[in-house]
Amino acid sequence: MKRPGASLILLFVLFATAIAQPPDLRVRLFTVHDTRVVTVTPVASATVAECASCRATKINGKLELRAAGESVLYANRRLKRLFLTGAVLVESADGRARRVDRGVEISSERSVLVIVTVMTPESYVAEAVQGETASEMPPEALKAMAVVARSFAAAMRDRHQDLGFDLCDSTHCQNLRAEISPIVQRAVDSTRGETLWSAGTPAMAFHSKDCGGHSAASSEAWPRWKAAYLPAQPDPYCIRKTQPWKSEFSTAQISKAMAESGIVLPRGWDHLTVESRSVSGRAQALRFRVGAAAGAVASASTLRTALGRTLGWQSLKSDLYEVEQQGNRFIFTGHGVGHGVGLCQTGAAAMAAEGKSYKEILAFYYPGTSRGISAQGIAWRKHPAGEVDVMVVNESAALPMSRVATAALREAQKLSGISATRHFELRVYPSLSMFRDATGEPGWIAATTRGDVIETQNPEALKRAGGAQAVLRHEFIHALLESVAAPTVPLWFREGLAVYLVGGSHAAGGCTMDLQQIEEALRARSSEAQMHAAHTAAADAVAFLGARHGREQLMQWLRNGLPDSAALEVGSRCDQASQHSRNR
């Protein structure tokens, strides 16, 4: 059972407002090209509005939207932002088209349209697998790619947060294609929610088209991303399938490409050699010399990027090559496509063809990671504190949380009149993301209790929720109540009783929700506002019963079952309140 982690309803409101997190992904569309004009056509019922809360107008025909500086031109008006709801077809002036079913938010930045939609994580994964593989892999390899795409999205979801969206639809994040093939959809569905984890956080699951027979360590491509689960290692599966490639460039082509990337090479350079190689054998630094002079050194990745921008991204396919000079021309002979980090699609396809499962594929390419729907591999450290074992990742949180947990449990026992008959485990997560990933709770939940295990956000977050002791007292009260509760006692009564025992509510007679609505809302937990309303109503209902029957009767009902007469009393009060409201 899960519940908001605050001993008073007020604490829940403050905490919920402060750190609520949306579950879906905000994804920018049409990222690759500077889109300045689009046409929007309704596919089904669709509307357009000038702000999120403005009155919407039904779209009856095609709309043309243009970027103008920081404004969107719509119906001869300049707007900061435009909101489309319903299913629409968005078409750019160069012929690219995209159907969107969950609405679009359109703004303009430097005369380029910024088109953002909301996608569920699983629909995003399906489009990413389709875009990154074109479904041209065996089923088990596609399953592995689904887990990879999901893990990458989870690890990188804040990549563009400062720009107002989470991820883009280009290869900078993951290439998306909306036309999902059945084989890709089956791969996504069969691995639903599965993610790779390292030390409780989503793994940065990079992948490449072809590693050339030897994968690259993450630090070779991105020095600041060093991960033990992304090593440089021989790939016996890829080496049997990889195909050699050859590219040829003149000194003029190389000089022009580098100059356009802001790199000026020595005037008159006529020699190019590999200065150093990475641990996987890839060219790391290149030396450009003039005759016997020392010349200058540039990174191999800079050359590959520069040539890609000017001559096409397949002109120099990877950094795994040898260079041969013939006059003023340089011949690159190599293997592989892309950076070579993480899963190699060529090797993964070969593994699948040999009968390997997607689990075996992932274990080979991401050694040391754990696969699961919730966070895995957290390095817990145990600190016994009387009847509570405090589990922390950061040692600095151990002592203060041990003291607070002990005090909170004592308070909970005194307030409830129930003695603890079992040992509790308190897990304190160091970050919101780890708590959310491990428990499946939204960010506006401070703590959750399952049996004798209580899981909380970090102490700083608990402080914003009204204090760690108040939050833990609430959770311990719930755990104690559950230890004696009859199985038939409804959730609204258990939730309201926990608040009642600490004096967090008084019977106000508001009756904003009936008991069935409260029960449904508490189980659905669809939003912070809904949960707040349900908890307020539950606490009010129990306080009403407490005022009429007393605390001891409430505790007896908890142990023996709530009689129908008690629910009827609450319902009758609400009926009377409703009648009084109509007669005013």
Predicted local distance difference test score (pLDDT) of residue 572? 85
Return d(Cα 581, Cα 584) in angstroms, integer.
5
DSSP 502: T
Write down the residue that tokens 């509005």 correspond to: 49
Let me know: does 332 contact 323? Beta carbons within 8 Å: yes
Predicted local distance difference test score (pLDDT) of residue 439? 86
* pLDDT, tens only, 155-181: 998 888 888 899 999 988 999 999 999
Return d(Cα 49, Cα 84) in angstroms, integer.
7
For the segment 326-349, the average pLDDT, to the nearest whole number, is 97
Answer yes or no: is pLDDT of 152 > 90. Answer: yes
Return d(Cα 150, Cα 129) in angstroms, integer.
9
For the segment 316-329, the average pLDDT, to the nearest whole number, is 96
Predicted local distance difference test score (pLDDT) of residue 436? 86
Name, in order, each residue with C-beta under 8 angstroms of 142's C-beta and a sequence gap of 6 or more.
129, 133, 135, 183, 184, 187
* pLDDT, tens only, 249-267: 999 999 999 999 999 999 9
Predicted local distance difference test score (pLDDT) of residue 500? 92
Residue 172 CB-half CA count within 13 A: 15
Let me know: does 195 contact 147? Beta carbons within 8 Å: yes
For the segment 499-505, the average pLDDT, to the nearest whole number, is 78
Name the pLDDT band for 575 (thresholds 50, 70, 90). low
Provide the pairing of β-strand 195-198 with 201-202: antiparallel
Predicted local distance difference test score (pLDDT) of residue 576? 62
The 3-state DSSP class for residue 97 equals strand
Dihedral pair phi/psi, residue 351, rounded to 5°: -60, -45
Answer yes or no: is pLDDT of 5 > 60. Answer: no
State the Rg of the chain over Cα: 30
For the segment 557-574, the average pLDDT, to the nearest whole number, is 91
Q: Is 103 exposed, middle or buried (0-12, 13-18, 19+ CB in 10 A)?
A: middle
- List, edge to edge, every strand of the sheet that includes 321-326: 245-250, 329-334, 321-326
Let me know: does 531 contact 16? Beta carbons within 8 Å: yes
* pLDDT, tens only, 39-51: 999 998 899 998 8
Answer whether 0.75 is exceeded by the pTM.
yes
The 3-state DSSP class for residue 46 equals strand
Distances (CA, A) of 348 to 7, 202, 354: 51, 21, 10
Return d(Cα 584, Cα 575) in angstroms, integer.
15
Tell me which of 13 and 541 has the higher pLDDT: 541
DSSP 210: B
Answer yes or no: is pLDDT of 477 > 90. Answer: yes
Return d(Cα 75, Cα 344) in angstroms, integer.
49
Answer yes or no: is pLDDT of 10 > 50. Answer: no
Predicted local distance difference test score (pLDDT) of residue 514? 87
Answer yes or no: is pLDDT of 394 > 60. Answer: yes
Lowest mean pLDDT among 26-35, 46-55, 568-577: 568-577
- Run of H or E residues at 300: helix 300-311
Q: CATH 3.40.30.160 spans which residues of the chain? A: 378-484
Let me know: does 442 contact 413? Beta carbons within 8 Å: no
Name, in order, each residue with C-beta under 8 angstroms of 556's C-beta and a sequence gap of 6 or more.
none
* pLDDT, tens only, 205-230: 999 999 999 999 999 998 888 899 99
As separate numbers, helices (DSSP H) first and strands (DSSP E) second, the chain gives 19, 27
DSSP 396: G
For the segment 176-193, the average pLDDT, to the nearest whole number, is 96
Answer yes or no: is pLDDT of 354 > 80. Answer: yes
Position 121: which residue type? P
Let me know: does 479 contact 423? Beta carbons within 8 Å: no
* pLDDT, tens only, 100-130: 998 899 999 999 999 999 999 999 999 999 9
Answer yes or no: is pLDDT of 507 > 50. Answer: no
> CATH second-level architecture of 378-484?
3-Layer(aba) Sandwich (3.40)
Tell me which of 455 and 582 has the higher pLDDT: 455
For the chain, percent of residues with pLDDT exceeding 90: 70
Dihedral pair phi/psi, residue 135, rounded to 5°: 60, 20
Predicted local distance difference test score (pLDDT) of residue 389? 94
Q: Is the Cα dihedral 322, 326, 327, 330 positive or negative?
A: negative
For the chain, percent of residues with pLDDT exceeding 70: 93
Answer yes or no: is pLDDT of 433 > 90. Answer: no
Return d(Cα 107, Cα 216) in angstroms, integer.
39
Predicted local distance difference test score (pLDDT) of residue 456? 94
Answer yes or no: is pLDDT of 582 > 60. Answer: no
Predicted local distance difference test score (pLDDT) of residue 360? 98
For the segment 28-55, the average pLDDT, to the nearest whole number, is 89
Position 441: which residue type? E
Predicted local distance difference test score (pLDDT) of residue 88? 93
For the segment 569-574, the average pLDDT, to the nearest whole number, is 85
Answer yes or no: is pLDDT of 583 > 50. Answer: no
For the segment 563-572, the average pLDDT, to the nearest whole number, is 91
Tell me which of 345 and 507 has the higher pLDDT: 345
The 3-state DSSP class for residue 63 equals strand
* pLDDT, tens only, 72-107: 999 888 999 999 999 999 999 888 999 999 889 999
Predicted local distance difference test score (pLDDT) of residue 417? 94
* pLDDT, tens only, 267-303: 999 999 999 999 999 999 999 999 888 889 999 999 9
